[in-house]
Amino acid sequence: MTYVNIIVTTAAKVATVTINRPDKLNALNRATIEELRLAFAAIKSDANIRAAILTGSGAKSFVAGADITEFAGVEPAAARDFSLAGQRTFREIELLGKPVIAAVNGFCFGGGMELAMVCTLRIAADTAKFGQPEVNLGILPGFGGTQRLPRLVGRSAALELCLTGKPISAERAHQLGIVSGVVPAADLIGEVEKLCGQLALSAPLAMRGIMDAIIYGEDMPLDQGLDYESQTFGLLSSTADMREGTSAFLEKRKPEFLGR
């Protein structure tokens, strides 16, 4: 498929999705959100792709936020529709069933931070900046930020970030648990590619089971979450990948998982 606002490439079972609006600091407009939805739907349905990287074009910005021209001055119903469109696409990425690693290469503000939070893991360049500055526009985060951020960092830190709108450094984001690692900017893509290469060799059904158990279980009572975990454990125990994994361990060799 031909895209206008994103670039999609694949290599060694890993897809790379690059938001390509550098003149707009990769801000998210409706068209870009729709292209992301289509791209990740294709990634989900392609059994040859085991993991994905999401990043922004250029060295300055991952995603600087939602494109303000898309909602400034619109009627409340249209603004709500814009919010819902972003939430739907972001939720589909979150529930992709394959690991998506955000390579945060620069500004990660507003809708960009909300997009990063739906990724499985986030690795940041040491030059990256994070923030939810929507309060400065008289609005709130509309792509899921008020819901995911407190789940990620706790209520107090989420309120601080959303109420002050102040940007924070990559190191502070790491301390809060927003990102799982910070690397020199020049090494970012290489480090993320290395991680995705490792994930691409892992058991895809097991990875999906792990992600589903954590994402869905987070909002379940503990007993219900434990039941979900044990049911998923039982299902995975019936797979060819489980037999391959255990056999490879006993035979002291590397497993070759086929996703079956």
Name the token pair of 77: 């119903």
In the DSSP assignment, the letter for residue 252 is T
Q: Which of 75, 92, 94, 134 is catalytic?
A: 134
Nearest-angstrom CA–CA distance, 175 and 181:
10
Nearest-angstrom CA–CA distance, 9 and 114:
23
Coil/strand/helix, residue 250: helix
* DSSP conformation letters of 140-194: ---SSHHHHHHHHH-HHHHHHHHHH---EEHHHHHHHTS-SEEE-GGGHHHHHHH
193 is catalytic: no
Dihedral sign (CA 39, 45, 49, 50): positive
171 is catalytic: no
* Cβ contact 170:179 at 8 Å: yes
Q: Which of 75, 114, 244, 256 is catalytic?
A: 114
Amino acid at 178: I
Catalytic positions are: 114, 134
